[in-house]
Amino acid sequence: MFVHRVNDALRSANVSRETFDAWQLEIRRGFAMSNSLALPIEVFGKEFPDVADNFYVDARAFIDHYNQLAACYVALHGASVVQGKEIRANARKIAALESELKASNENGKRMLELVESIADRIAVDYQNGPFQKNQKTDNGVVLPFSRSHEHLKNNPRLTDMFVCYFDQEAKQ
C-alpha cells in the first residue's frame, strides 16, 4: 500500500523514476554522513563507496579516551608493582615465621624430652628410698637451697634441689 501511494504521489507531482532514485540516494548519503559514528563500516563500503573514501573522523575524542586508558594502565601497573613487592616481603616474613615456628617446635620437643627425663630421674629417686634424711637447720628453719641437705650428693643437680625445695613446701 505504501509503495502504491508513493508511486501515485510521484505521478501526480510529475517526478520521474530517475529523479526519485537520485533523491533516495541523496537521503541515504545524508543519513550515512550524519550517523556515521553509529553505523558499521561495512555499510559504507557496500552501499556508499564514495562516502567511505571521503569520510573523515575527528580523532580527538578517541585520543582523549586513549589518554585516559593509558593513564589508568600506568596507575594499575604501578599498583601491581607495589603489590608485588608487598607480596614478596610478606612471603619472606612468612618464611621467617615458619622457620622460627619450626625451631620453636623443635625446642619444645627438646624441652619435653628433658622434662620427661627429669621426671624419670625423680621417679627413680623416689623408688630408691626416702627423699630426705636429717636436714640441718639454722635456728629451726630449713635452708632448702643450701648444700646442707644430707641426702643430696656433694654436687647435686639443680633439678634435684628444685624438686627437693618444692617437695618440702608441698608437705608443709
Q: What is the pLDDT of residues 14-24, one digit of tens each?
A: 888 889 888 88
Q: How many CA atoms lie within 13 A of 168 on its CB side?
A: 16
pLDDT at 62: 78
Are 118 and 162 in contact by the 8 Å Cβ rule? The answer is no
What is the average per-residue pLDDT within 71-92? 95
Cβ burial, residue 164 (10 Å; 0-12/13-18/19+): buried
Residue 113 in 3-state DSSP? helix
Average pLDDT, the chain: 77
Domain ranges of the chain: 2-53, 58-129, 133-172
Q: Look at residue 155 and tell me whether its pLDDT is greater than 90.
A: no
Confidence label for 147 from pLDDT (cuts 50, 70 and 90): very low
pLDDT of the residue at 90: 96
The residue with greater pLDDT, 75 or 141, is: 75
Can you give the pTM of this predicted structure?
0.35
- pLDDT on residue 51: 62
CB of 152 within 8 A of CB of 161? yes
